Amino acid sequence: MDKKRLIIYPLLFLATLAISTQGFTNIGFDGLLVPLIFTFIYFTTIFLIATAIKNNSIVDIGWGMGFVIGSWLTLFVTGDPTLLSYIIVGFITVWGTRLSLRLLKRNWGKPEDFRYAQWRKEWGEKVVLIAFFRVFMVQGIINFIVGSASYSIIRFNTFQFEGAGQFIIYAGLLVALTGLFFEVVGDEQLRQHINKKSGKLLQSGLWSVTRHPNYFGEILIWIGLYVSGLPMMFNGDISPIYYGLLVISPVIMSAVLIKISTPLLEKNMEKYDAWEDYKQRVPMIFPWGKKG
């Protein structure tokens, strides 16, 4: 492991700890320490299993359930949860459980995903140590940071669905539901296409609107959940500065999907004859985005 990463990883951990303790002002379990501690334990457990079976790509299967259990743990330590708390937990439970079960079904009995297999070759004898930090701990940090805004809503909101603030909540939840629609329907259309074994590129349905409707949907989900918590800043439930900084939740999820996941996937899609034409006709992520 190079010296640069020896500096970056502790800084990432401190930043994550700062988020969980509201800028080190809430060190006890009144903040988000419970989901943070769980997240690291959870991804360490997945790492141990992955090392034993030599398949680091199982971390993808566990991704969604990380949010599910994190949100439930947050709910359990919340003294007086509101209806919105239960709505957020329920939404994340449906989304995360579906995602993990879908990936489990799709990948069961199959070899390690091509991305992780390539990294295994590149890292050689140091694959276990490097994978622990660069795959499992980094994903654990990202998992918690992305979930932190939703955990804060579950933990701190006092909403009664009245006044002007309720319409912001409705708008946020509508955006999140729209995102769930794109992700679920996009995945199902892809599943049906794969089962046909045509060997052709999927270009119909939601895949004619965006090259990655499932990724677009996931971005909308985290934006919507964040927006639904905005009234907390006006109600005095949470520091406006703190919740303002938690915009990193949808931002980092969007950045990972757009800058990391999508390029890796599209590199693998170049094998299709229709790929170049498809890329020129359909935007990468956002339906209103730039084509090509």
Q: CB under 8 Å to 186, separation ≥6 — which residues?
A: 205, 206, 207, 212, 213, 214, 216, 217
Q: What is the DSSP code string of 105-169?
A: HHHTTPPPPHHHHHHHHHHGGGHHHHHIIIIIIHHHHHHHHHHHHHHHHHHH----S-STHHHHH
Q: Which residues pair with 291 in a beta bridge?
A: 283
CA 258 – CA 192 distance, rounded (Å): 25
Give the pair of three-digit tokens for residue 214: 């499932």
| Domain boundaries defined on the chain | 1-157, 163-292
Q: For each of the chain's 292 residues, which pLDDT tens digit applies?
A: 566 777 888 888 899 999 999 888 888 788 899 999 999 999 999 999 999 999 999 999 999 999 999 999 999 999 899 999 999 999 999 999 999 999 999 888 888 888 889 899 999 889 999 999 999 999 999 999 999 999 999 999 998 877 888 999 999 999 999 999 999 999 999 999 989 888 889 999 999 999 999 999 999 999 999 999 999 998 888 999 999 999 999 999 999 999 988 998 888 888 888 899 999 999 999 998 888 7
Q: Which residues pair with 283 in a beta bridge?
A: 291
How many residues does this entry show for the chain? 292
Assign 266 to helix, strand or coil. Answer: helix
Q: Which helix (H) or strand (E) holds 89?
A: helix 83-107
pTM as predicted:
0.91
Distance of CA 177 to the CA centre of its chain: 15
Q: Which helix (H) or strand (E) holds 103?
A: helix 83-107
- Residue bearing tokens 């999820």: 253
